[in-house]
Chain A
Amino acid sequence: MSKLVLRNVSRTFGSFSAVEDFNLALEEGELVSLLGPSGCGKTTTLRMIAGFMAPTAGTIELDGEVISSPGSSLPPEKRQMSMIFQSYAIWPNMTVAENVGFGLTVRKLKGDEVRSRVDEILEVVQLGALRDRYPAELSGGQQQRVALARSIVVKPSVLLLDEPLSNLDANLREEMRFEIRRLHDEFRITTVYVTHDQAEAMVTSDRIAVMNRGRVEQVDAPYALYGRPKTRFVAGFIGRTNFIEGKANGDEVHFGGFSVSRQSLHSEGALPQDVLVSIRPQSIHMFKQDPGAGSGRRCVQASVQRRAYVGEYWDYHVTLPGTAQPLRVTARPQEVFQVNEPVWIEIDTTQLTVIA
């Protein structure tokens, strides 16, 4: 059963179109990220889901009921959702416990129930000791946890997060990614998570919706998104990649220096005449000598144009005869090649992805 559904949602500001024809269906208890560069319309989408803004076209449905449409939108306070804001929006005039208990008080729960549920959730986010502090006396990470506790404690129908980690330092950010995933696994709240950091999206999400200029490019699980990007934008935005142009000819597709059979290329539709494929740098292997036909490997000769050592791996740029664009190859630290050294490279053709 789909819980939250966005159907052809658009939002324009004057003549500028911030979100265009956005379609997304979230399953009950699913965590979906909206991932995209700055200004692509993530916050706008999230605020439409929350009800702070009405769409200019399309509808948003929750459990089959239309909650947003261009004509009228259910106000945010009636949506039973909760949201974590980029600024955390912790109320500075209330203590940690008052902040966390606010949603429960508004829901007219009794004082002792509020207290027990607040204490419970503060334990979960490891803030039990700080319940009577004011926000000004908390660190960024602690404020973040207060915001998390405050929005989870009301058991919302949908949890919305707008770049919740962007104000934290790198280490804390990594820690909080896992914290968010842990809380999601514990409470199973349907969640929309906005971020422009792909690692964050990969760690936390069940599925990722990649957005570009107000449109959804692809919605998929992290693994599929990385392994099988459908558009050039997705391939380039999620991790690093190489694009290679080829030409279909009969049963074969020719790329400069090598060719593969039509069948071996994973492609949903019929292949066009001009084919564009993406191959990840780690799906290309380098050898000092041609391993030879006997080895079962099909190698192409190339030469190293440029290299960089980044500690965890080598980042090589190699040129193939007949292709203008150098390929990026990632190699393990012990695989050392000199610049201008002739090398043989093997392309893992099973990892070639056709880009629409």
Chain B
Amino acid sequence: MAAAPSAFGQWWRNLDKSAWVWVLAIVVLVLLVVNPLLRLLIVSFQQPDTGAYTLANYAAAYGRSRYVDALVNSLILGVSAASLCLVFGLPLAWAVSRTDMPGKNLVWISILGTFIIPPYLGAVGWILLAGPNAGWLNRLVVELTGMEKGPFNIYSMTGLVLVTACYSFPYVFVFTKSALDLVSSEMEDAANILGSGQLRTTLSITLPLVLPAILAAYILVFLEAIALFGSPALLALPGRFHVVTTQLWQFFEYPPKVGVAAAYSMPLLCITVFLFWLQRRVTRRKGYVSLTGKGGERRPIALGGWKWAMLGYCLAVCTLSFFMPMVVTCQAAFAKAWGRGFSLDNLTLDNLYFTLFENTLTRNATLNTFTYAGSAALIAIALALCVAYIVNRQLVGRHAGDLLSFLTMAPFVIPGIVLAIGFYAAYTRPPLALYGSAWILILAFATRFLPIAYANSNAAIRSINPELEDAVRILGGTRFTAIRRVVAPLLNRSLAGAFILVFIPGTRELSSAIFLSSINTQVLSVLLFDKSDEGNFEMLAAIGLIMVFITVVFILIGFRLMGRDFMLRRTAA
């Protein structure tokens, strides 16, 4: 058997030693994506204490009419909020993209601002505006009309729909505007020449062309709305009704009924997966893609006197979503007591100072927010980069590669709250008892935003000619030398951009954090939510402003690094 060691020796010598890193990446991917989902499914069929298989969880989850009502409420919320998003977003997109409306920059900036505000902070702003009795708008109406009681109540389904739409319509705007930007004037001219009026042309030519984009945005916004936790928790709970996400949260109140929660989260998961599948089909339909690219000439449509009406509408939408909530939030953050109104002697920096420096709870939460989001972004990008590299350089077979990219993109269709329940189910018990530690939050954030990291890494890796790496290897460098000396330096800018794109949502993530954080691992978003019970709105607003500030700073860094359309890459996921 003299041949055996030498055969092994040759095998060892010839082995690509970088292989273990790729194996490690795949293992991590399985731990982050597959295991939680699998555990979620298993736990939903298990007796909590014995582990025996049962359908009792499903019976418990759907056995009461209250629980079923919450499901229906989520659907109502999703459909109404998404429809309202169209009412808000479509005219704005059309006006900014196709007309000569003045003040486009102002509209743009306030929509960017709307993107920047975490939805739950918007909800806080709206509580200050339209809370029963004390809300600014109610007080204004009482003042003006002498009515006994203001008419607005934000703690209602209508209020919830409005607030949700206010912070989701930018998706509709961005999707539609990108599609409209591709419709050339010639296409519309062709219809005008045939005797079609401006309005008819818009409705019969332009609208169908951008319909797939609108449909895709509608689905996206619907899914956002039903997966949202923050605004419903702030508005629906005091309003004494439930949606799926708040109901899930209630299942987690002590003692947590993980099995029931898992069973109850299935419709949310299935609807999301199905609709994303539908969305991809819609956007892939070839017949619709008669958009001409950038070739065609584009002239803005002259609105005449209507342009002021249009601007008025745009500004009204921006006022609802951005100006009004931000003004009252800022007022509260800098007020001794927000109810005392806008006066100089009510002005103070105490709230911010207290939040940032004096209160250990908030100080630690701020620190945690940074560390967790930062670590999560690093992990997500490292992993995404590994997978993108494996897939693009075909280090594994084509089917294995497809599977890897599928797994990496899969969290995109998992609502954060469902992911959190999966993580809870997978990592509260040994051997991997992470619950209570920072790691479970970091890993959950990393998983949640893995698709963003992957979309960016993939584009980055694709931009590098593989021959650049081949040249390193043939000259005696290993794959790692190639990555360290050539790939990484060439990608550092786009990776920094990707880091920011993961870091920003990481600092504001609420829906998965709320299930996974404990006393010692609180982050700002969770703290903000916890404090909402106490009615200390000055402090809530201060925390919110700190988060907005963090976001703005990092977006500006992103602009510096990547140029103007850097934010849009997020939606490219």
Seen from chain A, the residues whose Cβ lies within 8 Å of a Cβ on chain B are 50-52, 71-83, 85-87, 89, 91-94, 102-103, 106-107, 150-151, 154, 160
Contact of B472 with A by CB under 8 A: yes
- Interface status of B475 (Cβ within 8 A of chain A): yes
Q: Which of B456-480 contact A (CB under 8 A)?
A: 465, 467-468, 470-478
Q: Is the CB of B475 within 8 A of A89?
A: no
Q: What residues of A have a CB within 8 angstroms of the CB of B470 in the complex? A: 50, 52, 76, 83, 85, 89
The answer, among A52, A71, A92, for a CB contact under 8 Å with B490, is: A92
Q: Given A72-B14, A74-B13, A93-B486, check contact A102 B475 (CB 8 Å).
A: yes
B468 contacts A80, C-beta separation under 8 Å: no
Residues of A contacting B295 in the complex (Cβ-Cβ under 8 angstroms):
none
Quote the shortest CB–CB distance from A61 to chain B (angstroms): 13
A-chain residues with CB within 8 Å of residue B49 when the two chains form the complex: none
Interface contact B474-A81, CB-CB below 8 Å: yes
Asked if B11 contacts A91 (CB within 8 A), the reply is: no
Contact B476 A107 (CB under 8 A): yes
Number of residues of chain B lying within 8 A (CB) of chain A: 23
Pairs across A and B, CB under 8 Å, 10 listed: A51-B474, A74-B14, A75-B478, A77-B473, A87-B467, A91-B471, A93-B489, A93-B490, A154-B476, A160-B474
- Cβ 8 A contact of A106, one of B13, B16, B476: B476
In the complex, what's the smallest C-beta–C-beta distance from A97 to chain B, in angstroms? Answer: 15
**Are B14 and A85 in touch, CB under 8 angstroms?**
no
Q: Which residue from chain A places its CB closest to the CB of B12 in the assembled complex?
A: A72
Return A14 CB to nearest CB of chain B, in Å: 10
- Against A, the Cβ 8 Å flags (1 = close, 0 = not) of B469-509 are 01111111110010001100110000000000000000000
With A and B bound together, what is the CA distance between A76 and B18 in angstroms?
A: 13
6 A-B pairs with least C-beta separation: A103-B475, A89-B471, A89-B467, A72-B14, A85-B467, A93-B489
Determine if B465 and A87 form an interchain contact, defined as CB atoms under 8 angstroms apart.
Answer: yes
Chain B residues with CB below 8 A from A76, complex form:
470, 473-474
Q: Let me know if B11 and A72 touch, CB within 8 A.
A: yes
How long is the Cα–Cα vector from A87 to B470 in the complex, in angstroms?
A: 11
Q: Given the complex, which residues of B lie within 8 Å of A92, measured CB to CB? A: 490
Q: Is B10 in the interface zone, CB < 8 Å from A?
A: yes
**Chain B residues closer than 8 Å to A103, beta-carbon distance:** 475-476
Across the interface, do B467 and A78 meet the contact criterion of CB distance under 8 Å? Answer: no
- Find out whether the CB atom of B476 lies under 8 angstroms from the CB atom of A91: no
B471→A79 contact, CB < 8 A: no
Closest to B478 in A: A77
Interface pair B481/A83, CB less than 8 Å apart: no
Cβ–Cβ contact B10 & A72, under 8 A: yes
**What residues on B are CB-neighbors of A86 within 8 Å?**
467
Q: Which residues of A contact B467 (CB under 8 A)?
A: 85-87, 89
For B474, what are the chain A residues with a Cβ–Cβ distance below 8 Å?
Answer: 50-51, 76-77, 79, 81-83, 151, 160
By a CB distance below 8 angstroms, the chain B residues around A89 are 465, 467-468, 470-471
Contact surface of B with A, Cβ cutoff 8 Å: 10-11, 13-16, 465, 467-468, 470-478, 481, 485-486, 489-490
Q: Is the CB of B486 within 8 A of A106?
A: no
Bound together, the chains give a CA A91 to CA B475 distance in angstroms of 13
Summarize B's interface: helix, strand, loop or mixed. helix
A-B interface pairs (CB < 8 A), number? 76
B489 to chain A: which residues have CB within 8 Å? 93
CA distance A186 to B265 in the complex (A): 73
Q: How far is the CB of B21 from chain A (nearest CB, A)?
A: 15
Residues of A within 8 A of B476 (CB): 77-78, 80, 103, 106-107, 154
Chain B neighbourhood of A85, CB < 8 A: 467, 470-471
Please indicate which of the listed interface residues A78, A79, A102, A107 has the most CB atoms of chain B within 10 Å of its own CB: A102
Inter-chain contact A106/B14, CB cutoff 8 Å: no
- Give 8 new A-B contacts, CB below 8 A, not counting A76-B474, A77-B477, A81-B474: A74-B14, A77-B478, A77-B481, A89-B465, A91-B468, A91-B471, A106-B481, A154-B476
Of all chain A residues, the one with the shortest Cβ separation from B14 is A72
- Chain A residues near B10 (CB, 8 Å)? 72
Main secondary structure of the interface of A (DSSP, over half): loop
A113 to nearest B CB, angstroms?
Answer: 16
A166, chain B: closest CB distance, angstroms: 14
Name A162's closest neighbour in chain B (CB-CB).
B467
Min Cβ gap A3→B in Å is 17
Closest to B13 in A: A74
- Shortest CB-to-CB span from B222 to chain A, Å, is 42
Verify B465–A102 contact, CB threshold 8 A: no
- Across the interface, name the chain B residue whose C-beta is closest to A150: B475
Judging by beta carbons under 8 Å apart, are B490 and A82 in contact?
A: no
Q: Cβ of A154: which chain B residues have Cβ within 8 Å of it? A: 475-476
Q: How far is the CB of B467 from chain A (nearest CB, A)?
A: 4
Give Cα A75 to B465, complex, Å: 20
The smallest C-beta distance from B238 to any residue of chain A, in angstroms, reads 56
Assembled-state Cα–Cα distance A86/B466 (Å): 12
Chain B: CB-nearest residue to A151: B475
Residues of B contacting A93 in the complex (Cβ-Cβ under 8 angstroms): 486, 489-490
Most chain A Cβ neighbours within 10 Å, of B14, B468, B478, B489: B14
With a 10 A CB-CB cut-off, give which of A50, A77, A150 has the most chain B CB atoms. A77
The listed residue (B14, B16, B478, B486) touching A91 by CB distance below 8 A is B486
Q: How far is it, in angstroms, between the C-alpha of A75 and the C-alpha of B473 when the chains are bound?
A: 8
Task: Give the chain B neighbours of A77 by CB distance below 8 A.
Answer: 473-478, 481
> A89 CA to B485 CA in the complex, in Å?
14
Within the complex, the shortest CB–CB distance from B487 to chain A, in Å, comes to 10
Chain A positions within 8 Å of B465 at CB level: 87, 89
A106 to B473, CA, bound (A): 10
Minimum CB–CB distance for A50 against chain B, Å:
6
Chain B residues near A50 (CB-CB < 8 A): 470, 474
A76 to B476, CA, bound (A): 7
Measured between beta carbons, the chain B residues less than 8 angstroms from A72 are 10-11, 14-15
Contacts of A91 in B (CB 8 A): 468, 471-472, 485-486
Q: Nearest chain-A residue to B472 (Cβ)?
A: A102
Complex contacts, A81 vs chain B, CB 8 Å: 474
Q: Is the CB of B475 within 8 A of A82?
A: yes
Q: Please measure, in the bound complex, the distance between the C-alpha atom of A103 and the C-alpha atom of B481, giving whole angstroms.
A: 11
Q: Across the interface, do A73 and B475 meet the contact criterion of CB distance under 8 Å? A: no
Residue among B470, B474, B485 with max Cβ neighbours from chain A (10 Å): B474
Residues of chain B lying within 8 A (CB to CB) of residue A79:
474
A158 to chain B, nearest CB (A): 10
Does B475 lie within 8 Å of A78, measured CB to CB? no
- Taking CB atoms, residues of chain A closer than 8 Å to B14 are 72-75
Q: Which residues of A contact B468 (CB under 8 A)?
A: 89, 91
> Least Cβ distance of A44 to chain B in Å?
14
The closest CB in chain B to the CB of A47 belongs to B470
Q: B481 to chain A: which residues have CB within 8 Å?
A: 77, 106
- Judging by beta carbons under 8 Å apart, are B471 and A78 in contact? no
Q: Which of A94, A106, A107 has the most CB of B within 10 A?
A: A106
Cα distance A72–B8 when bound, in Å? 11
Closest chain-B Cβ to A262's Cβ sits at a distance in Å of 52
Chain A residues with Cβ below 8 Å from B471 are 83, 85, 89, 91, 150
A81 vs B475: C-alpha distance in the bound complex, in angstroms?
7
Shortest beta-carbon distance, A147 to chain B, in Å?
Answer: 8
Q: A72 vs B470: C-alpha distance in the bound complex, in angstroms? A: 19
- Distance of A191 Cα from B472 Cα, bound (Å): 19
Q: How far is the CB of B133 from chain A (nearest CB, A)?
A: 63
| Least Cβ–Cβ distance between B130 and chain A, in angstroms | 55
Q: How long is the Cα–Cα vector from A78 to B10 in the complex, in angstroms?
A: 12
Residues of chain A lying within 8 A (CB to CB) of residue B475: 77, 82, 102-103, 106, 150-151, 154
Contact partners of A78 in chain B: CB under 8 A: 13, 476
From B470, which residue of chain A is reached at the shortest CB distance?
Answer: A52
Residues of B within 8 A of A160 (CB): 474
Neighbouring A residues of B473 by C-beta, 8 Å: 52, 75-77
- List residues of chain A with CB within 8 A of the CB of B11: 71-72
Q: Which residues of B contact A151 (CB under 8 A)?
A: 474-475
A51: chain B residues within 8 A (beta carbon): 474
Q: How far is the CA of A136 from the CA of B475 in the complex (A)?
A: 22
A331 to B356, CA, bound (A): 93
Measured between C-beta atoms, what is the minimum distance from B116 to chain A in Å?
34
